Amino acid sequence: MEMGRGLNGIEVIASVNPARVGENVTFRAIPPTALPSGSWAVGDRVLVVTWLGEQQAVFPGHEGRARVNISSGDLHLSSVSVEDSGVYVLQSNDPSLRANTSLTVLEPIANVTLTVRNTTLVEFTSAVRLTCLASGSSVSFQWVNGSSEVVRRMGVLLEDGNRTLIIQNVTRYDVGPFSCHVNNALGSATSHLIPLLISYGPEDMSLAMTGSLLVGSNLTLFCRASSQPPALLEWLVDGESLNATGQETLELGRVEERHSGLYSCRAFNNMTLRWSSVTKRLVISMPAPPLSKAQPLKIVTLSWLCVLAVSLWLYLSC
């Protein structure tokens, strides 16, 4: 409640402030004071009601809505509108007093709507413009991306009293969903959510392999690319297409030396119209020959022959 101080220790309060359009408001004199005559006005010029004894005169704009309780000095104002906002002044000459208080009448927030022209965008290329519409008095706007408040910064503009959000050169982190929060002194309301589809890539490509590079082995190559939407993949060897399109893996069974070469994975994003590729050289080789099993036996046999020869020479020398 809003309270205003006046002469002779009399104060005036409004039963509700701010008030909602259509509400009833009572202005009370504190302490209650019997006033044989007096007036209520908005400011110094717009009279609401005057009275003398039991006779009351209600002025244009307030007919059928304003009445005074003479025994207490209270003013009852029904079905207030935004135009009823202002400073309400109680004045009397019997006893001499003057007191005032303020009233703000607001329309509640309604019809919060979020609009955007295009939700399909390309990273670092596209801009997006979101507009928040709402009815209500003295409203303020706040934008949210996911769970984080959107603030003005380089490339992010807030215009038209924050009703409009413009993001220049969107990035993949601007996907949202976006919402608009509208507030005034009576309450708040939130728009529906709008997600953005932002295309990017391909980038950060990698080419991995499992298996052995020996003749007769099975090899599998894995291609990865960061891309939205997923990139179209193509495999090449020494620059020649293998007609293996759209596959993240390339299987090579029982490889031979002729399978050696530069293996490339090329990625294309049909929304960003960008290309990227990664290459890995494969050298297929024959396995090393195994050691001969007869070799140790020959060494052992030769050793025994040497021992026998030495023993025979010693025997003949004796």
pLDDT in tens, 26-69: 999 888 888 889 999 999 889 999 999 888 999 998 999 999 99
pLDDT in tens, 103-128: 999 999 999 999 998 999 999 999 99
Q: Is residue 160 part of a domain?
A: yes
> Is the pLDDT reported for residue 6 higher than 70?
no
User: In degrees, to the nearest 5, what angle opens at C-alpha 276 toward C-alphas 271 and 277?
Assistant: 145
> Is the pLDDT reported for residue 296 higher than 80?
no
Do 191 and 245 share a structural domain?
A: no
Do 205 and 157 share a structural domain?
A: no
> Is the pLDDT reported for residue 310 higher than 50?
no
What average pLDDT does range 127-140 have in this prediction? 96
Do 181 and 162 share a structural domain?
A: yes
Do 33 and 98 share a structural domain?
A: yes
Write down the pTM of the prediction: 0.74
Do 117 and 66 share a structural domain?
A: no
Do 117 and 94 share a structural domain?
A: no
91-100, 115-124, 204-213, 218-227: least confidently modelled range: 91-100
- Look up tokens 């503009």; give the residue: 157
Do 134 and 80 share a structural domain?
A: no
Number of structural domains, the chain?
3
CATH number of the CATH domain containing 189:
2.60.40.10
Do 157 and 77 share a structural domain?
A: no
The pLDDT value recorded for residue 71 is 83
Q: Is residue 131 part of a domain?
A: yes
Domain residues for the domain of 175 are 110-195
Q: What is the average pLDDT score of the chain?
A: 88
The pLDDT value recorded for residue 291 is 65
Q: Is residue 288 part of a domain?
A: no
Which residues does 84 contact at the CB level (< 8 Å), separation at least 6? 25, 42, 77, 103, 105
> Is the pLDDT reported for residue 306 higher than 80?
no
Do 100 and 51 share a structural domain?
A: yes
> Is the pLDDT reported for residue 302 higher than 50?
no
- Boundary residue ending a domain (162, 195, 228): 195
Q: Is residue 128 part of a domain?
A: yes
Do 179 and 137 share a structural domain?
A: yes
Q: Is residue 293 part of a domain?
A: no
Q: Is residue 185 part of a domain?
A: yes
> Is the pLDDT reported for residue 300 higher than 50?
no
Q: Is residue 249 part of a domain?
A: yes
Do 29 and 52 share a structural domain?
A: yes
Q: Which residue has the higher pLDDT, 259 or 295?
A: 259
Q: Which residue has the higher pLDDT, 125 or 2?
A: 125
pLDDT in tens, 67-106: 999 888 899 999 999 999 999 999 998 788 899 999 999 9
The pLDDT value recorded for residue 292 is 60
The pLDDT value recorded for residue 307 is 45
Do 102 and 30 share a structural domain?
A: yes
- Boundary residue ending a domain (106, 125, 144): 106
Q: Is residue 292 part of a domain?
A: no
